C-alpha cells in the first residue's frame, strides 16, 4: 500500500525568498536523482508562513529504501540544511501515513 511522508515547517519571518530559493535547489537535486516527486503546499488557514512538503512512495518498504539511500549523501544533507536554516526551530512536524483500504470488503 502507498505511504506518504509529510513535513510541515514554518518559514522564519523575512526569510521567505531564501527559503524558496533553497527549496528549489533541493527539489531540483531530488528530481535529478529520480527520487519520488515532492509536492509543496502552503496552507490557506492557520499559522502564516507554514509550508507542507509531501512525498508519496509506493510502499513503506520503498520509503525505507529511499531513506537509506540518502542517509550518508553529503550533497543531500547540505541542500536539506540550506532549506531548514530558514525555518523556525521547534515548529517542525513530521508524519508518515500508510494508505488504508477502507473499501476492500466491497470489492
In a domain, 56, yes or no: yes
Q: Is 43 a member of any domain?
A: yes
**Count of structural domains, the chain:** 1
Indicate whether 107 belongs to any domain: no
pTM: 0.79
> How many whole angstroms separate alpha carbon 99 and alpha carbon 103?
12
27 touches 38 (CB < 8 A): yes
Q: Is the pLDDT confidence value at 103 over 90? A: no
Is 35 domain-assigned? yes
For residue 95, give the H/E element and its range. strand 93-98
Domain of 29, CATH number, reads 3.30.70.100
58 within 8 A of 1, measured Cβ to Cβ:
no
3 state DSSP class of 35: coil
**Assigned domain for 106 exists:** no
Query: Are 18 and 25 spatial neighbours (Cβ–Cβ below 8 Å)?
Result: no
Average pLDDT over residues 34-55: 86
Amino acid at each position: 500500500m502507498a505511504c506518504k511522508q509529510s513535513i510541515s515547517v514554518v518559514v522564519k519571518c523575512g526569510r521567505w525568498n531564501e527559503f524558496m530559493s533553497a527549496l528549489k535547489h533541493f527539489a531540483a537535486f531530488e528530481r535529478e536523482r529520480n527520487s519520488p516527486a515532492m509536492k509543496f503546499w502552503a496552507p490557506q488557514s492557520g499559522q502564516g508562513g507554514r509550508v507542507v512538503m509531501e512525498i508519496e512512495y509506493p510502499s513503506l518498504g520503498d520509503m525505507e529504501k529511499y531513506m537509506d539511500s540518502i542517509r550518508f549523501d553529503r550533497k543531500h544533507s547540505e541542500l536539506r540544511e540550506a532549506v531548514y536554516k530558514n525555518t523556525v526551530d521547534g515548529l517542525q512536524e513530521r508524519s508518515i501515513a500508510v494508505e488504508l483500504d477502507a473499501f476492500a470488503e466491497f470489492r
